[in-house]
Amino acid sequence: MAAALRGMKAEGGWGVVCTEWCSIHPSSDDLPHPNAALWSDRHIKDQALMTDAVHDHGALAGVELWFGGARSANHYTRETAYDVASIPNLAGHPYQPRSMDKSDIRNLRHWHREAALRAKAAEFDIVYVYATHGYLLSHFLSAETNDRTDEYGGSMENRARLLRELIEETKEAVGDRCAVAVRYSVGGDDGESDTLTTERRDCLEMLAEYPDLWDININNYEREMGVSRFFESGSLEEYMAFVKSVTTKPVVTVGRFTSPDAMASQVRRGIVDFIGAARPSIADPFLPQKIFEGRLEDIRECIGCNICYTGDGLGTPIRCTQNPTMGEEYRRQWHPEIIAQKDSDSTVLIVGAGPAGLEAARMLGQRGYRVMLAEATRTLGGRVTREAALPGLNEWIRVRDYRVQQIEKMNEVEIFRESELNSEDVISTGADHVVIATGASWRKDGLGRSHPFAYAASELQGNILTPDDIMDGQTPSGHTVVYDDDSFYMGGLIAEKICLTGQQVTLVTPADVVSAWCDYTSERFYVQKRLLELGVALQTGFQLVSYNGHDVRVVNTYTDRTLAISANALVMVTARQPNDRLYRALETRWQEDSAIGIRSVTRIGDCEAPALIAASVYAGHRFAREFDIKPDAEMNPRYE
């Protein structure tokens, strides 16, 4: 699966395609996080699948040799982890690594060399030494964690000794055929001391000419991998702008770049020699080819939502909001740019122009079908248009804009705005097939994650609002309680939006932390930080009991302790109700009455099952891919 995904990026024009972190030894096992491994010769053929796929399209393949140290709990292998000292497991697991003695260091160097030789045997072109992100080598480099008294501790030169040895030994082992790169961080940790920042620079200067390429980032992964809500693209520049002045070797970094102008500017201004990209290459594997061909308007820009990153914490394959084919290159054999041409002259009516409807229209249009896209409101985009207006989410509008731009170029797709259809309207269009993509609405009745049934009407009285009301422009006045039993991004955003209007806000959630699922998108810390900085009062671990229009009563989820919070309004961020009335009205009718002439009615996206925007885009895409195609063995996903 990973080989097909990476081959696709190479086909899209990226010059170098790298693995994710690649463990060199079983004592550095990161499961359930999905990572590559070169533990033994048997792994060579696995990695060669990727290098072959990448070389087939003329790109170079890179491998990021990695040793986790105190971040590895080794849940799978049950090996003891090693690090510079026996510090706590930094991923929060109840294991500590063993403090490395001289023979452990010798072993590590041997394992690294062996893995490098395997990488060469697997035909990699660039072999990395991974010295960042709070893994083993960062701890050797840092005076804060390295308290050794031998030649690997003390002075900067001593603390950098292991990194230098690994670079030298990797070059000696594979340098005849492979370039050796170092992934290195220059700072950027929240609260990092000036001394540490200076030391990182001193170390880089000391090793400046050792590797063939410097791949620069910052130690704080949540910041480097920052969501667009909190971090702008190119946010690493302030930390790494000095690097090219201290080395003659080429330098690369990342920055969630999607604008060719921003990329060119970094190169022109001497910040980097190469543009690195993870998320932009996920959202659009063909970004380089589109730049090369001058098709800039066809670039599908990353929105910085980090749904791609959730697979890391969940231990599942990668998914992307903007690119529904990501992770499906092998499993469903989807190509991001190519889709089968139409199989019939059927016409399709799509009701609802949210992400599901827009994506279905785009892909059916690309296949050559005649499509009518009806949208109740004047604005296209559905929930994306509404959510992108929330604080910090403006980049999300790209989900709509990319699709509308593509559709507007197609003669096959006709858009009907301000057309709220009922079942008679649908029938009167004469469409052969009907797709209902009418979305979902936030519930008012309190049904949520911790209370999976509605509250009694007597328990909820007074000014009760939903995120839809707030997004529609309603602003409660006076103290407002936002009750978040959804636990993803919406609760925090609604609290922030109301607070920014000058109102006092208390966010109550039955969860132990604010916006718990945002841990998977790497932004939870920043959500809570933002709310605290704005002065939003937080009550975690409290479930809603009732609201009488004056007091919101809540009960502690561990004890029976209740609280009464006086409030003028209560905003319920709990669950969503599918808007499936139209689907229900047509559901059986089209089958029972053949005179209507409709051959299928399908619901997709939130109207079928409310979920992520990524799920709606995927649902629209999948409908269009499979439409009119007879199911056969080839259509079945490969789950192996």
Closer by beta carbon to ligand SF4, 179 or else 283: 283
Buried b (16+ CB within 10 A) or exposed e, 22-43: bbbbbbbbbeebbbbbbbeeeb
Count the residues of the shown chain that bind ligand ADP, applying the rule CB under 6 A. Answer: 26
Residue 166 token pair: 């690994």
Of 327, 350, 606, 622, the one binding ligand ADP (CB under 6 A) is: 606
Q: Name the nearest CA neighbour of 415 among 377, 367, 366, 472.
A: 377
Residues whose CB is less than 8 angstroms from the CB of residue 585 and which lie 6 or more positions away in sequence, other chains included: 422, 423
Name residues contacting ligand ADP, limited to 185-204 (CB under 6 A).
none
Q: Of ligand SF4, ligand ADP, none, which one sits near residue 437, judging by CB under 5 to 8 A according to partner kind?
A: ligand ADP
Q: Please, what is the minimum distance in Å from the beta carbon of residue 336 to ligand ADP?
A: 20
354 interacts with ligand ADP by CB under 6 A: yes
Q: Tell me the CA distances in angstroms from 186 to 239, 240, 387, one per residue in order.
A: 6, 6, 35
Please, which residue, 276 or 357, has the CB nearer to ligand ADP? 357
User: Are 139 and 85 in contact, with CB atoms under 8 Å apart?
Assistant: yes
Q: Which is nearer to ligand ADP, 92 or 473 (CB)?
A: 473
**Nearest distance from residue 321's CB to ligand SF4, in Å?**
4
User: Judged by CB, which is closer to ligand SF4: 323, or 574?
Assistant: 323
Binding flag, residue 582, ligand ADP (CB under 6 A): yes
| Bridge partners, 61 (sequence order) | 17
Is position 68 an interface residue for ligand ADP (rule: CB under 6 A)?
no
Whether the CB-CB separation of 428 and 342 falls below 8 Å is answered with: no
Binding residue for ligand ADP (CB under 6 A) from 353, 393, 460, 518?
Answer: 353
Q: How far is CA 220 from CA 1, 305, 526, in A?
A: 29, 18, 12
From the list ligand ADP, ligand SF4, none, partner contacted by residue 352 (C-beta under 5 to 8 A by kind): ligand ADP
SS3 484: strand
Q: Which does 322 bind (CB under 5 to 8 A by kind): ligand SF4, ligand ADP, none?
A: ligand SF4
Residue 438, interface with ligand ADP (CB under 6 A)? yes
Note whether 8 binds ligand SF4 by CB under 6 A. Answer: no
Pairwise CA distance, residues 374 & 350, whole Å: 6
Region of 382 (left: φ > 0; alpha: ψ -120 to 50; beta: rest) is: left
Report, in Å, the least distance between residue 325 CB and ligand SF4: 11
Give the residue numbers marked as catalytic.
135
- Residue 351 binds ligand ADP, judged by CB under 6 A: yes
Q: Rounded to whole angstroms, what are the CA distances from 482 to 175, 388, 450, 504, 564?
A: 59, 20, 15, 11, 14
Does position 352 interact with ligand ADP (CB under 6 A)? The reply is: yes
Nearer of residues 483 and 623 to ligand ADP, judged by Cβ: 623
Question: Using the rule CB under 6 A, is 211 a contact of ligand ADP?
Answer: no
Question: Do the bridges between strand 440-442 and strand 576-578 make them parallel or antiparallel, or are there none, so unpaired?
Answer: antiparallel
Tokens standing for 52? 């072959």
Q: Which does 485 bind (CB under 5 to 8 A by kind): ligand SF4, ligand ADP, none?
A: none
Q: Work out which of 421, 494, 511, 518 binds ligand ADP, going by CB under 6 A.
A: 421
Residue 303 contact among ligand ADP, ligand SF4, none, beta carbon within 5 to 8 Å by kind: ligand SF4
How far apart are CB 351 and ligand ADP at their closest, in Å? Answer: 5
Nearest-Å Rg of the Cα atoms of the chain is 27
Residue of 575, 601, 576 lying closest to 421 (CA atoms): 601
Choosing among ligand SF4, ligand ADP, none, which partner's interface includes residue 329 (Cβ < 5 to 8 Å by kind)? none
Q: How many CB atoms lie within 10 A of CB 539?
A: 18
Verify binding: residue 27, ligand SF4, rule CB under 6 A.
no
Of the candidates 51, 39, 60, which has an alpha carbon nearest to the alpha carbon of residue 117? Answer: 39
Most distant CA pair in the chain: distance in Å?
87
Residues 431/348, Cβ–Cβ less than 8 Å: yes
Residues 290-349 binding ligand SF4 (CB under 6 A) are 302-308, 320-322
According to the binding rule CB under 6 A, does residue 607 interact with ligand ADP?
yes
Q: Which does 475 bind (CB under 5 to 8 A by kind): ligand SF4, ligand ADP, none?
A: none
> Which stretches of the chain bind ligand ADP, using CB under 6 A?
351-357, 374-377, 382-383, 419-421, 437-440, 579, 582, 605-607, 616
> Which stretches of the chain bind ligand SF4, using CB under 6 A?
279, 282-283, 302-308, 320-322
